[in-house]
C-alpha cells in the first residue's frame, strides 16, 4: 500500500504539519492532513504497527477537524473525521446481498480434508490442486460494497440472503477503508466479505474494566446509595461483543468496542462495462487478497499459506492448531480454499456452502461441571426435550447453565444421572454438548432421570412412535406447542414480522390476546395498548410488521406453517410449480415423492397436514385475513429442444458460469448429470478439460465446444 519512499514522505509531512502551519492554504492543508492520518490509521489498524504517539495523532486529528469546521465547503465523505460521531441509527435498512452469504462445510481431521481434496479433483477433473490455508476468524460476518471507489453499503450477514445496512457503524471501524483506489485496478463496483472481531487483549481489558465497574456498583448498592443507575454489564465473549457491536444504535459506542475487520473473499467485482474481472484479471484467491491488501484492507497476508497439495494444507492446519493460543485474535479453525478462481467456479456451491472451500475446525474445548436437574420442554412439534440444568460453568467464552440432552435413548446411552459430574464440550459456534459423565465421581446420591409419561404442559399422555427417538404430545391445542408454533411463524426466516418476538408471543398468549396463528392478524390493539411497557410506538411498529408479512412469498408462508420435516428448502421445492398454496391439498403421496429431494417421510407429513381439518381452518382464516396465497409461475420459455438429452460440463467455460449453463440446459428441457457414461448424450468441454474428456472420447460420447453448445441452443440440434 505505502512503499518505503512514500512512508518516509508521509512521516515528514506529518512532522511538519504538527508544527505551526497557519500560512498554508486550507485546501492543501486539509488534503495533507487527511493523507497523513489515513496513513497512520493504516499502520495502526491494518498493520498493528503504529509509528506515531497518541498525542501527535490526536493533535493532527484535532487540526483537521478544526480546519474542516472553518471551511465547510472542503468537507468530504471519505475524510477520517467522518469516522466519528455519526449519532443514532434507529432502524437499520434491510439490504439484499449481491449473492447469498454462504456458510462453510466443516472438517475435523486429515481424513476429512483428503475426502474434500478427492471431491474437488473429481469436480474439476484435475490431478493437482493448489490450496490456500488461512485462519477461520471467529467474529461477525460483514459484507462491504464499494462503488466508484467509495464505501457504499456495509451489511451484516443476517439470514444470508439479506442483512442490515450498518454503514454508520462500519465507518468507525478504522481498518475498513472509507474509500480505496479500485479504479486503478479497473474495478467500478466490488463486494468484499470479511469478519469483524476484537483482539483478545483488547477484549480482556474491556472485561476487566467492566468487572471493576460492576463490583464498585455493587459496593455502592450495598451501602444503600441511590441514583447509581443500572448494574454494569460484563461482556460474555468477544464474538457476541463484536456482532452486538455492529448492530448498536449509537455509533459512538461502537467506536469504543475496538472492532477490527479482516477481509477474506470477493465474489463480485465488475469493471465500468459491467463485465466481471474475476477469473480474467484476477486469477487466484491469493492474488485477490493481495490486491485488497495493496488497496489498504486488512487481508490476512501474513497468515495465509499457499499449498501445492492437500498434504501441505493439512500440515498448515495442524501447525496453526498448535500456535492458536499465541495468535492475537480468536480463531476457531482454518479455512482451506481452492486457489484458482476458474476451478472455484467449476466446483460451484450448494445452497449452504461453496464446494471449493472447507473449514478445518480445531478440537473442541471442554469443561466439567455438575448436573443439577433435568427439566422437560415441549417443542413446536410436540416433541419432549429433556434439558439438563448445570452448575454454571465457563466454556470457550460463554457461560453454560443449561444444555439439551436430546431424548430418552441419549440419556440411557450416556448413562446420565441427576447429580453426575459431566464433561461438556463446545466447538466454535456449535451448541454445547455433554460428551460423557464421570462415573468415578459418583457418591451414591445420584438419581435416575425419570422421563414423564404425560405432557408437562397439558398433561396429555405422551406417545412414542416406533423408530422415532422422541416422546410426543399429540394434543394439537397443547399450549406449549401452540406458542412455539407461533414463535416459529413470526420468526425472521419465516414470516419475518419485525417487532414481534418470542417474549411478545408468550405475553400476548398468557394475557389471552392471542390463541393461534390466525390470531396474529386479529390482535386487539386497543387492549394491547393497556399492557405495561407497550406504548403507541411499539404498537405502530407491530402493526407495520404484521401488515408487511401479508405479502411474503408463498414459500415463506408454507415454511412458517411449521409442517413437520418441511424446512426452508423443502418449502421452496413444494411451491415451485404451484399457483396457489391450496393446490398442495390435491397432491397425493406419489406426486409429492416425485418432487426433488422429497422422500416418503416428508411426503407423508405434508399430506397429513393438508388433510387435517384444524389446519385447513387455519389456512382459510389466514387467506381471509388477506395473506398472500398465490404466485405467478414462470412458464418454461425454452422451446424444449434439448428434451430428454443429458449433458456434462468439464473444463473452464469462457462465456458462461456453471450455473448459467445448467439453467440453459434445464430451460430447454435437458438435464445436467455429474458423471460420464455410455448413456451420456453430450460432453461440453472447455479449456483445461482432463479425464472426463478422455473418458467421453473413449466411450464415443459426442463432445461439444462451448460455442457448439451455444449454437445448439440458438439454432436447434
Ligand atoms: S470464506 C463463499 N474465509 O465463517 C465464501 N469465511 O462458518 C465463504 N469465516 O460464513 C466464506 N473466517 O463468516 C471464509 N477466512 C475465512 C473466514 C470465513 C471466518 C466465516 C464466514 C463464514 C463462516 C462459516
Ligand 1 proximity of 264 Cβ (cutoff 6 Å): yes
Ordered DSSP codes for 563-632: -TT--HHHHHHHHTT-SBGGGGGG--HHHHHTSTT--HHHHHHHHHHTT-HHHHHHHHHHHHTT---B--
Q: Check if 195 has its Cβ closer than 6 Å to any atom of ligand 1.
A: yes
Which CATH superfamily includes the segment(s) 106-200+241-361? Answer: DNA ligase/mRNA capping enzyme (3.30.470.30)
Residue nearest ligand 1's atom 16 by CA: 136
* Cell matching residue 499: 417487532
Specify whether domain 646-715 bears CATH 3.40.50.10190: yes
Q: Whose CA is nearest to atom 21 of ligand 1?
A: 141
The string of DSSP codes covering 234-263 is: ----HHHHHHHHHT-SBHHHHHTT-EEEEE
Residue 39 has pLDDT above 90, yes or no: yes
Residue 103 CB–ligand 1 contact under 6 Å: yes
Average pLDDT, the chain: 91
Where do the H-state alpha helices sit in 369-455?
A: 408-414
Task: Calculate mean pLDDT across residues 639-654.
Answer: 86
CA 400 to mean position of chain CA atoms: 23
Rounded mean pLDDT, 596-614: 92
Structure-block grid coordinates of residue 31:
488534503
Average pLDDT over residues 513-524: 95
- Residue with the nearest Cα to atom 14 of ligand 1? 264
Q: Whose CA is nearest to atom 13 of ligand 1?
A: 141
**List of long-range contacts for 681-685, beta carbons under 8 Å, 24+ apart:** 681/645, 681/646, 681/647, 682/645, 682/646, 682/647, 682/648, 682/709, 683/647, 683/648, 683/649, 683/650, 684/647, 684/648, 684/649, 684/650, 684/653, 684/708, 684/709, 685/650, 685/651
Q: What is the pLDDT of residues 288-328, one digit of tens each?
A: 999 999 999 999 999 999 999 999 999 999 999 989 888 99
Q: How far is CA 638 from CA 163, 635, 642, 707, in A?
A: 34, 9, 9, 18
Question: So what's the pLDDT on residue 689?
Answer: 85
Ligand 1 pocket test, candidate residues 105, 143, 195, 360, most atoms within 8 A of CB = 195
* 106 CA distance to ligand 1 middle (Å): 11
Instruction: Give the residue whose CA is nearest to atom 23 of ligand 1.
Output: 103
Q: Where are the beta strands (DSSP E) in 673-717?
A: 682-685, 702-704
Tell me, what DSSP letter sits at residue 184?
Answer: G
- What integer pLDDT is reported at residue 84 of this predicted model? 66
Q: Is 102 in the pocket of ligand 1 (CB under 6 A)?
A: yes
Q: How far is the CA of 358 from the centre of ligand 1 (A)?
A: 9
Pick the CATH number of 4-83 from 1.10.3720.10, 1.10.540.10, 3.40.50.720, 1.10.287.610: 1.10.287.610
Is the overall model pTM greater than 0.95, yes or no? no
Ligand 1 in reach of 246 Cβ (< 6 A): no
Instruction: Give the confidence band of 548 by pLDDT, cuts at 50, 70, 90.
Output: very high
* Residue whose cell numbers read 408462508: 557
2-13 tens-digit pLDDT: 889 999 999 999
Ligand 1: does its nearest atom lie under 6 Å from the Cβ of 265? yes
With the most atoms of ligand 1 within 8 angstroms of its CB, the residue from 104, 338, 428 to mutate is 104
Q: Which ligand 1 atom is at minimum distance from the Cα of 428?
A: 7
Q: How many angstroms is it from 136 CA to the middle of ligand 1?
A: 6
Ligand 1 contact, 297 CB (< 6 A): no
DSSP, residue by residue, 34-97? HHHHHHHHIIIIISS---S-HHHHHHHHHHHHHHHHH-GGG--TTSGGGGS---B-SSPPEEE-
Instruction: Give the cell for residue 623.
Output: 387467506
User: Is it the case that residue 192 has pLDDT exceeding 90?
Assistant: yes
User: Average pLDDT of 435-457?
Assistant: 93
Q: What is the pLDDT of residue 397?
A: 67
Q: Which of 99, 131, 133, 137 to mutate to test the pocket of ligand 1 (most atoms within 8 A of CB)?
A: 137
* Closest residue by Cα to residue 284 from 129, 103, 180, 126: 129
> What is the CB-side half-sphere exposure of residue 193 using CA atoms within 13 A?
21
143: CA distance to ligand 1 center in Å? 11
CA 292, CA 564: separation in Å to the nearest integer? 45
| Cβ of residue 628 lying under 6 Å from some atom of ligand 1 | no
pLDDT band at 85; cut points 50, 70, 90: low
- Expressed in angstroms and rounded, the spacing between residue 332 Cα and the centre of ligand 1 is 11
Q: How many CA atoms does the CB half-sphere of 349 hold within 13 Å?
A: 16
Alpha carbon of 562 to ligand 1 centroid (Å): 30
Quick one: angle between helices 200-222 and 238-246, nearest 10? 90
Distance 299 CA to ligand 1 centre (A): 13
C-alpha cell at 491: 420468526
Segments of the chain assigned to CATH 3.40.50.10190:
646-715
- How far, in Å, from the CA of 135 to the mean position of ligand 1? 9
| Rounded distance between C-alpha atoms, residue 490 and residue 508, angstroms | 13
**Catalytic annotation, pick one of 136, 171, 298, 692:** 136
Q: Which of 101, 174, 185, 196 is nearest to 149 (CA)?
A: 185
> What is d(CA 648, CA 141) in angstroms, rounded to the nearest whole number?
35
| Fold for the domain defined by 479-549 | DNA polymerase; domain 1 (1.10.150)
Nearest CA to ligand 1 atom 3: 264
Which is higher by pLDDT, 459 or 468? Answer: 459
- Give the CA radius of gyration of the chain: 29
Q: Is 141 in the pocket of ligand 1 (CB under 6 A)?
A: yes
Residue 136 is a catalytic residue = yes
Return d(Cα 350, Cα 612) in angstroms, integer: 34
Mean local confidence (pLDDT), 451-472: 92
pLDDT in the model for residue 635: 65
| pLDDT (mean) for 610-629 | 95
Q: What's the CA-to-centroid distance between 139 and ligand 1, angstroms?
A: 10
Q: Would the CB of 134 count as within 6 Å of ligand 1?
A: yes
Q: Comparing 66-75, 494-503, 518-527, 654-663, which segment has the lowest mean pLDDT?
A: 654-663
Ligand 1 test: best mutation among 133, 135, 136, 329, most atoms within 8 Å of CB? Answer: 136
What is the whole-number distance in angstroms between the Cα of residue 641 and the centre of ligand 1?
41
Which ligand 1 atom lies nearest to the CA of residue 136?
A: 12
Q: Whose CA is nearest to atom 12 of ligand 1?
A: 136
Angle of CA points 422, 425, 427, to nearest 5°: 175
* CA 398 to centroid of ligand 1, rounded, Å: 21
**Overall average pLDDT of the 12-33 stretch:** 84
Would you state the pLDDT for residue 231? 85
* Residue 522 in this model has a pLDDT that exceeds 90: yes
Q: How far apart are CA 344 and CA 264, in angstroms?
A: 15
94 within 8 A of 183, measured Cβ to Cβ: no
When the candidates are 2.60.40.420, 3.40.50.300, 3.40.50.720, 2.40.50.140, the CATH number that belongs to 365-438 is 2.40.50.140
Classify domain 554-624 at the CATH class level: mainly alpha
210-225: average pLDDT: 88
Residue of 288, 320, 335 with the most ligand 1 atoms within 8 Å of its CB, for mutation: 335
* Residue 145 near ligand 1, beta carbon < 6 Å: no
pLDDT of residue 472: 94
Q: What pLDDT is attached to residue 154? A: 96
Binding site membership of 299 for ligand 1 (Cβ less than 6 Å): no
User: Percent of the chain scored above 90 by pLDDT?
Assistant: 66
pLDDT at 514 over 90: yes
User: 398 falls in which pLDDT band (50, 70, 90)?
Assistant: confident
- Find the 103 Cα to ligand 1 centroid distance in Å: 7
- Best residue for ligand 1 mutational test, from 264, 266, 317, 329 (most atoms within 8 Å of Cβ): 264
Query: Average of pLDDT values for 561-576?
Result: 92
| pLDDT score, position 717 | 61
Amino acid at each position: 500500500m505505502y512503499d518505503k519512499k512514500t512512508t518516509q514522505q508521509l512521516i515528514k509531512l506529518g512532522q511538519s504539519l504538527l508544527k505551526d502551519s497557519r500560512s498554508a492554504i486550507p485546501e492543501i492543508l486539509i488534503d495533507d492532513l487527511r493523507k497523513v492520518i489515513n496513513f497512520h490509521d493504516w499502520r495502526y489498524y491494518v498493520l498493528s504497527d503504529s509509528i506515531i504517539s497518541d498525542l501527535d495523532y490526536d493533535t493532527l486529528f484535532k487540526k483537521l477537524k478544526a480546519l474542516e469546521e472553518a471551511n465547510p465547503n472542503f468537507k468530504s465523505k471519505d475524510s477520517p473525521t467522518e469516522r466519528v460521531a455519526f449519532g443514532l441509527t434507529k432502524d437499520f435498512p434491510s439490504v439484499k446481498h449481491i449473492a447469498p452469504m454462504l456458510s462453510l462445510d466443516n472438517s475435523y481431521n486429515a481424513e476429512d480434508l483428503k475426502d474434500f481434496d478427492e471431491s474437488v479433483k473429481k469436480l474439476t477433473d484435475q490431478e493437482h490442486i493448489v490450496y490456500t490455508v488461512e485462519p477461520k476468524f471467529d467474529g461477525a460476518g460483514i459484507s462491504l460494497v464499494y462503488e466508484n471507489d467509495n464505501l457504499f453499503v456495509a451489511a451484516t450477514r443476517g439470514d444470508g440472503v439479506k442483512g442490515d445496512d450498518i454503514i454508520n457503524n462500519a465507518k468507525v471501524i478504522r481498518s475498513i477503508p472509507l474509500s480505496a483506489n479500485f479504479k486503478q485496478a479497473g474495478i467500478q463496483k466490488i463486494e468484499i466479505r470479511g469478519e469483524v472481531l476484537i483482539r483478545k487483549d483488547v477484549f480482556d481489558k474491556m472485561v476487566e474494566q467492566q468487572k471493576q465497574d460492576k463490583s464498585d456498583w455493587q459496593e455502592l448498592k450495598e451501602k444503600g446509595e441511590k441514583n447509581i443507575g443500572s448494574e454494569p454489564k460484563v461482556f460474555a465473549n468477544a464474538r457476541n461483543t463484536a456482532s452486538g457491536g455492529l448492530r448498536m444504535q449509537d455509533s459512538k459506542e461502537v467506536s469504543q468496542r475496538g472492532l477490527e475487520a479482516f477481509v477474506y473473499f470477493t465474489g463480485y467485482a465488475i469493471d465500468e462495462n459491467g463485465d466481471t474481472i474475476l477469473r480474467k484479471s484476477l486469477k487466484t484467491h491469493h492474488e485477490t487478497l493481495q490486491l485488497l491488501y495493496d488497496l489498504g484492507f486488512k487481508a490476512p497476508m501474513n497468515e495465509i499459506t499457499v499449498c501445492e497439495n492437500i498434504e501441505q494444507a493439512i500440515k498448515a492446519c495442524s501447525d496453526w492448531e498448535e500456535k492458536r493460543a499465541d495468535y492475537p485474535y480468536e480463531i476457531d479453525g482454518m479455512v482451506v480454499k481452492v486457489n484458482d478462481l476458474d476451478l472455484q467456479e467449476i466446483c460451484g456451491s450448494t445452497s449452504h456452502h461453496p464446494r471449493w472451500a472447507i473449514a478445518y475446525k480445531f478440537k473442541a474445548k471442554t469443561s466439567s461441571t455438575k448436573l443439577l436437574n433435568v427439566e422437560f420442554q415441549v417443542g413446536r412439534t410436540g416433541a419432549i426435550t429433556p434439558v439438563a440444568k448445570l452448575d454454571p460453568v465457563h466454556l470457550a467464552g460463554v457461560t453454560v447453565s443449561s444444555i439439551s440432552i436430546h431424548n430418552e435413548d441419549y440419556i440411557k446411552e450416556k448413562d446420565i444421572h441427576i447429580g453426575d459430574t459431566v464433561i461438556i464440550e463446545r466447538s466454535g459456534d456449535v451448541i454445547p454438548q455433554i460428551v460423557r459423565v464421570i462415573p468415578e465421581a459418583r457418591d451414591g446420591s445420584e438419581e435416575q432421570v425419570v422421563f414423564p409419561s404425560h405432557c408437562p404442559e397439558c398433561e396429555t399422555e405422551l406417545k412414542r412412535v416406533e423408530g422415532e427417538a422422541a416422546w410426543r404430545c399429540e394434543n394439537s391445542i397443547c399450549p406449549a406447542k401452540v406458542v412455539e408454533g407461533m414463535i416459529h411463524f413470526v420468526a425472521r426466516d419465516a414470516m419475518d414480522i419485525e417487532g414481534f418476538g418470542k417474549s411478545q408471543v408468550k405475553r400476548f398468549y398468557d394475557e389471552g390476546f392471542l390463541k393461534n396463528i390466525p390470531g396474529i392478524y386479529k390482535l386487539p390493539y386497543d387492549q394491547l395498548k393497556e399492557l405495561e411497557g407497550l406504548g403507541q410506538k411499539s404498537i405502530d411498529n407491530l402493526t407495520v410488521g404484521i401488515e408487511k408479512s401479508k405479502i411474503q412469498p408463498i414459500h415463506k408462508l408454507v415454511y412458517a406453517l411449521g409442517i413437520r420435516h418441511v424446512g426452508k428448502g423443502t418449502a421452496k421445492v413444494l411451491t415451485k410449480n404451484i399457483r396457489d398454496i391450496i393446490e398442495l391439498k390435491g397432491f397425493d403421496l406419489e406426486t409429492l415423492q416425485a418432487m426433488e429431494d422429497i422422500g416418503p417421510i416428508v411426503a407423508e407429513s405434508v399430506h397429513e397436514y393438508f388433510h387435517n381439518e384444524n389446519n385447513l381452518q387455519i389456512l382459510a382464516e389466514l387467506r381471509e385475513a388477506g395473506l398472500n396465497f398465490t404466485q405467478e409461475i414462470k412458464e418454461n420459455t425454452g422451446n424444449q429442444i434439448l428434451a430428454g438429452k443429458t449433458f456434462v460440463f468439464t473444463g473452464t467455460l469462457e462465456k458462461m458460469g456453471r450455473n448459467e449453463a445448467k439453467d440453459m440446459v434445464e430451460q430447454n428441457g435437458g438435464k445436467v448429470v455429474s458423471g460420464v457414461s455410455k448413456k451420456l448424450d453430450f460432453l461440453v468441454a472447455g479449456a483445461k478439460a482432463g479425464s472426463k474428456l478422455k473418458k467421453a472420447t473413449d466411450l464415443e460420447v459426442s463432445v461439444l465446444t462451448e460455442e457448439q453448445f451455444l449454437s445448439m441452443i440458438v439454432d436447434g440440434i
